[in-house]
């Protein structure tokens, strides 16, 4: 609820940071609005009612001088929202199978309209780091900073992840990073089981194309998905498992705690430190 009495600057700052902590990081109106419907009706608007066309058709005077407009993200062509269902998951499986390279997989994802998270996200968050690396980490889903930059793990938990990598002598030139879900869920909500199922073939193919020697799953969702387990992260972490790709490749996998969890529970950092030491040793053994 917006307060009815004016706030001084300090009070306003406090209120805004309270909202940001609660995940409210977009200014909205008092009334809810259906963005999917807006997109579809914009797409369906008769040609001559769009402002640019009216001006071009001489129905409206072209402005003598363009008014200064704030920088806007480049709009994507409007696409009707898909109903997330098993058919979309089947389409995702088929499309992911077709990707022969990471560039093809990225292009397929950029085109894929079967997951509605793409409509509320600003950017596709595909991956960061070195795809030739022997070491790949997979998180859950992008947050606000990742969505704005189109890169995984660039916010606070990304900074912690970078420090964890540095502790074992790695950085983004010697590690490759992605997420189970490549679009930010609105307000950082959990992705639904169906959204996860629709995105699953893409991250599975992603891992298969990178073919790292060591895979690290960060937190519960990526551990459950890539190891096909229902066992919680607290029991899974710190022990080696195997991720089997569709083509039968077996990849040594270490589940560990998610950096966002560690920011909230710093006492558990020592557990992840142990996991990272085990990862470092394994990578060293594999180097020969």
Interface with ligand URA, residue 105, by CB under 6 A: no
Show contacts with ligand URA in window 143-172 (CB under 6 A): 143, 146, 152-153, 155, 157-158
The nearest distance, CB 162 to ligand URA, in angstroms, is 12
Q: Select from 18-26, 35-43, 104-112, 137-145 the region that touches ligand URA (CB under 6 A).
A: 137-145
Q: Which residues of 204-220 are buried (b: 16+ CB within 10 A; e: fewer)?
A: bbbbbbbebebbbbbbb
Q: How far is Cα 212 from Cα 135, in angstroms, rounded to an integer? A: 5
Nearer to ligand URA, 112 or 183 (CB): 183
Show contacts with ligand URA in window 177-216 (CB under 6 A): 179
The nearest distance, CB 6 to ligand URA, in angstroms, is 36
Residue 84's φ and ψ, nearest 5 degrees, are: -70, 115
Helix (H) or strand (E) holding 129: strand 128-129
Helix (H) or strand (E) holding 252: strand 250-256
When binding is defined by CB under 6 A, the residue of 260, 262, 279, 283 that contacts ligand URA is 260
The nearest distance, CB 156 to ligand URA, in angstroms, is 9
Number of C-beta neighbours around residue 134 at 10 A: 16
Q: Which two tokens stand for residue 134?
A: 């022997």
The nearest distance, CB 233 to ligand URA, in angstroms, is 13
Close Cβ partners of 134 (under 8 Å, ≥ 6 residues apart)? 212, 213, 214, 283, 286, 287
Nearer to ligand URA, 96 or 154 (CB): 154
Number of residues that bind ligand URA (CB under 6 A): 13
| SS3 state of residue 77 | coil
Show contacts with ligand URA in window 2-21 (CB under 6 A): none
Q: Is 104 exposed, middle or buried (CB count within 10 Å of its CB: 0-12, 13-18, 19+)?
A: middle
Cβ proximity of 78 and 40 under 8 Å: yes
Cβ proximity of 138 and 179 under 8 Å: yes
The nearest distance, CB 254 to ligand URA, in angstroms, is 16
Interface with ligand URA, residue 140, by CB under 6 A: yes
Nearer to ligand URA, 96 or 138 (CB): 138
The nearest distance, CB 142 to ligand URA, in angstroms, is 5
Nearer to ligand URA, 129 or 143 (CB): 143
Residues interacting with ligand URA, by CB under 6 A?
139-143, 146, 152-153, 155, 157-158, 179, 260
């Amino acid at each position: 609820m917006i307060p009815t009495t004016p706030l001084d600057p300090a009070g306003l700052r406090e209120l805004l940071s309270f909202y940001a902590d609660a995940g409210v990081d977009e200014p909205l109106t008092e009334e809810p609005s259906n963005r999917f419907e807006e997109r579809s009706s914009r797409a369906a608007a008769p040609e001559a009612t769009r402002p640019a066309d009216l001006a071009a058709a001489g129905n409206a005077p072209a402005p003598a001088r363009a008014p200064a407009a704030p920088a806007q993200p480049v709009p994507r062509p409007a696409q009707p929202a898909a109903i997330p269902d098993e058919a979309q998951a089947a389409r995702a499986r088929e499309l992911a199978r077709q990707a022969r390279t990471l560039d093809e997989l990225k292009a397929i994802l950029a085109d894929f309209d079967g997951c509605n998270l793409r409509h509320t996200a600003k950017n596709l968050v595909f991956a960061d780091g070195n795809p030739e690396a022997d070491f790949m980490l997979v998180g859950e889903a992008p947050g606000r900073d990742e969505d704005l930059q189109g890169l995984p793990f660039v916010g606070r938990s990304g900074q912690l992840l970078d420090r964890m990598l540095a502790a074992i002598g790695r950085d983004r030139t010697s590690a490759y990073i992605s997420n189970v879900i490549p679009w930010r869920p609105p307000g950082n909500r959990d992705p639904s089981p169906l959204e996860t199922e629709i995105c699953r073939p893409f991250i599975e193919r992603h891992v298969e194309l990178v073919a790292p020697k060591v895979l690290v799953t960060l937190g519960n969702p990526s551990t459950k998905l890539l190891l096909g387990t229902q066992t919680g992260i607290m029991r899974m972490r710190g022990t080696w498992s195997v991720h089997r790709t569709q083509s039968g490749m077996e990849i040594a996998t270490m589940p560990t705690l998610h950096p966002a969890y560690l920011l909230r529970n710093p006492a558990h950092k020592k557990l992840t430190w142990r996991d990272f030491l085990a990862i470092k040793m394994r990578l060293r053994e594999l180097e020969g």
